[in-house]
Structure 1
Amino acid sequence: MAGTARDEQYTAYVAARLPWLQRVAYLLCQDWDRADDLVQAALTRLYVKWHRAGSVENVDGYARTVLVRVFLAEQRTGWWRRVSPVREPPEPSPYLADRDSDLDLRAALRELAPRQRAAVVLRFYCDLSIEQTAEVLNCSTGTVKSQTSRGLAALRQALLPTMSLEEGTA
């Protein structure tokens, strides 16, 4: 009986939070198909640890941590480079209205190093504090600050020509 209740809780959680997990995964990897794979791997790990996750105060935080760590572990193996023979532009985001700015930002985000991308996504999309981000990335707060700073500098540099052109035409 306890197993059935556990499965029902897990299923209800996944049904409610799946779109959010997919968006976070997409921001990390910049590919909807790969995001689905990351979410699937994270949800599998989450199910195995549901007895622990179901009892924590912030289940979303636990799930997000699992997802980010799956992403970073995959980045270290290089598996994603071998499986993706052609780099195609990402599909337009169904969540943002300004498609041109969206494409510029996603292209710039895609060029960041994986840990920089994870730090920027966690800090500014997931709205985590420096300490929370450090916990998810399993690193020091100083590392979060430097990765975020470098990531933002790279984003500014990548978007600067676009921003200057737009300002010149206004």
Structure 2
Amino acid sequence: MSIGTLTLRSLDPLEDAGLLHGWVTHPKAAFWMMQDARLQDVEREYMRIAAHEHHHASIGLHDGEPAFLMEWYDPRHVELVGLYEPEPGDVGMHFLVAPTDRPLHGFTRAVITAVMTELFADPATRRVVVEPDVDNKAVHALNAAVGFVPEREIDKPEKRALLSFCTREQFLAARGVAV
């Protein structure tokens, strides 16, 4: 069974705020820590990201329809400053799959695979860095499935996180591609 086509488009903070608000305030997105956000809060957050030189966001499309959010950032300047020693080619990543009443088996894994493929499409990307909440067991399993290896727990201002890394080689090996 095919998942369908996954593509990305630029995120427009004002146009997409309503869509994103529904996603980030949904109970499924508890680890996104925006449960009580107002529409204006979401607009403000994504305007901040859009204006930031080292933080970016895109809307992921499933067969042309908005279905997930992808964020990537330079950990030397955003999110992980002072929490680990970044290496050249490190790129931080967040993703969020939209809530749905028609779940598609394997969809979330297809999304994280598409996100990683997009990040590694840039030859400058040597390693992807994530810092999910230590209690987010579902995302830890997804991360492991695409090649992430946990390094250690870290304390961020908003959460206790599991710092994990995935090199291009680890990602390809997890996908069964010879390196």
| Structure number having the greater strand percentage | 2
TM norm structure 1: 0.30
Which fold has the larger relative contact order, with Cα–Cα distance below 8 Å and residues 6 or more apart in sequence?
Answer: 1
Structure that is richer in helix per residue: 1
